[in-house]
């Protein structure tokens, strides 16, 4: 079993905090800075831990990916769907449409009950697609060329066919492949990159951070909307990739500087469950606050004090509930094991 790498968990922890914080901000705030790189960062980190050679056959890799990504997606989707039905007055046609949407797997067209789930089907197709690519070739120059072509295809779809929403977010996968592949290629030059970062960590961090802020702001000001991978909205090709790669670079450098942090590592290890459920937690927080303040006050406080509180509160509650579920499952499994042993002893007596 492959051991976890501390700085990658730290990076996941930083990434999911950024995602949750960004989702708490209003559209007219500075959240476009976070949207410019937070999802590319997660595809990049998924590429870093991609190790296809440990599987003897592609079928083993496919089954493992189904179990690791699709199965959690279906479980989370069904739970979210049932919770949505219980909280809302839904027309039967809408209920059936969204149920079908679970199998369609595109958060820009369906999954209204929890559109954050778009990431898992897209990650599944991205991982399988890159697995097939590495079966075709493992030469780094060919992989880079194919990733460049993929970036062009993804961008052309976003510009010339923005309303096209394919099953499992395939229209987004072409772009996601670039970042996943960049993470995979990181491993080929990891030692050189680490040595470079150790020597020039601070100037590289500042340079990449400034580049991310500058080009994200330019992209936003020109088009008036934040980039959004879920919607396959990229705007300017050069600005999008410069911003995303700069944001990834600054996040990686920060994670490697921190290296070990128990809190961030723990949050990073549970980034998936935090990603899936934080908007649901937000909705409950908002319902509670509406009991003590009006909508105008709520909106005025959103970007000042509520977003940090929403971020901390949702992380705390979700992790606590996750721990309870895990402990309950272990207790149930242990109880069943003991009952089985008792029944076996009873049968022998």
160: containing domain: 31-258
Q: How far is CA 187 from the centre of its chain?
A: 20
270/219 same-domain check: no
pLDDT at 191: 80
195/51 same-domain check: yes
The answer to whether residue 1 sits within a structural domain is no
The answer to whether residue 10 sits within a structural domain is no
The answer to whether residue 6 sits within a structural domain is no
Overall domain count for the chain: 2
* Full-model pTM: 0.92
103/233 same-domain check: yes
Distance CA 13, CA 269 (A): 7
198/302 same-domain check: no
179/113 same-domain check: yes
Burial of 283 from C-beta contacts in 10 A (0-12 / 13-18 / 19+) = exposed
236/291 same-domain check: no
238/288 same-domain check: no
Per-residue model confidence as pLDDT tens for the chain (349 residues): 456 789 999 999 999 999 999 999 988 889 999 999 999 999 999 999 997 666 678 888 999 999 999 999 999 999 999 999 987 688 888 999 999 999 999 998 899 999 999 999 999 999 999 999 998 888 999 999 999 999 999 999 999 999 999 999 999 999 999 999 999 998 888 788 878 877 888 999 999 999 999 999 999 999 999 999 999 999 999 999 999 999 999 999 999 999 899 999 999 999 999 999 999 999 989 989 988 888 888 888 888 888 999 999 999 999 999 999 888 888 887 777 777 766 655 555 5
The domain boundary, picked from 258, 281, 312, lies at 258
CB 209 within 8 A of CB 246: yes
Sign of torsion over alpha carbons 130, 134, 137, 142: positive
177/200 same-domain check: yes
The domain boundary, picked from 202, 237, 258, lies at 258
253/278 same-domain check: no
- 110: DSSP letter: S
The domain boundary, picked from 219, 241, 258, lies at 258
pLDDT at 54: 67
The answer to whether residue 26 sits within a structural domain is no
The answer to whether residue 162 sits within a structural domain is yes
Instruction: Choose among 183, 184, 153, 182: nearest CA to 170.
Output: 153
pLDDT at 1: 45
67/188 same-domain check: yes
In the beta sheet, which residues pair with residue 228?
233
3 state SS of 230? coil
188/291 same-domain check: no
The answer to whether residue 114 sits within a structural domain is yes
The answer to whether residue 22 sits within a structural domain is no
The answer to whether residue 20 sits within a structural domain is no
43/86 same-domain check: yes
């Amino acid at each position: 079993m492959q051991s976890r790498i501390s700085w990658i968990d730290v990076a996941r922890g930083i990434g999911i905090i950024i995602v949750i914080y960004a989702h708490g901000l209003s559209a007219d705030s500075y959240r476009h800075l976070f949207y410019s790189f937070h999802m590319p960062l997660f595809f990049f980190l998924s590429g870093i831990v991609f190790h296809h050679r440990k599987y003897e056959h592609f079928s083993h890799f496919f089954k493992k990916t189904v179990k690791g990504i699709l199965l959690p997606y279906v479980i989370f989707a069904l739970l979210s769907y049932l919770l949505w039905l219980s909280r809302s007055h839904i027309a039967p046609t809408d209920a059936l449409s969204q149920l079908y949407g679970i199998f369609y797997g595109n958060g820009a067209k369906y999954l209204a009950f929890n559109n954050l789930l778009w990431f898992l089907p897209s990650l599944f197709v991205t991982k399988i697609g890159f697995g097939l690519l590495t079966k075709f070739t493992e030469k780094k120059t060919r992989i880079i060329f194919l990733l460049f072509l993929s970036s062009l295809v993804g961008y052309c779809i976003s510009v010339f066919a923005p309303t096209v929403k394919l099953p499992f977010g395939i229209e987004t996968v072409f772009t996601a492949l670039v970042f996943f592949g960049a993470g995979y290629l990181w491993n080929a030059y990891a030692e050189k990159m680490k040595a470079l970062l150790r020597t020039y960590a601070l100037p590289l961090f500042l340079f990449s951070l400034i580049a991310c802020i500058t080009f994200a702001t330019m992209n936003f000001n020109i088009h008036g909307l934040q980039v959004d991978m879920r919607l396959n909205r990229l705007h300017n090709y050069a600005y999008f990739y410069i911003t995303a790669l700069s944001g990834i670079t600054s996040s990686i450098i920060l994670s490697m500087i921190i290296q070990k942090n128990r809190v961030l590592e723990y949050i990073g290890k549970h980034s998936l469950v935090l990603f899936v459920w934080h908007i649901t937690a937000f909705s409950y927080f908002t319902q509670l606050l509406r009991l003590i303040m009006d909508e105008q006050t709520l909106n005025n406080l959103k970007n000042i004090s509520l977003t940090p509180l929403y971020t901390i509160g949702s992380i705390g509650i979700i992790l606590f509930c996750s721990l309870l579920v895990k402990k309950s499952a272990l207790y149930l499994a242990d109880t069943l094991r003991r009952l089985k042993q008792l029944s076996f002893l009873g049968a022998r007596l």
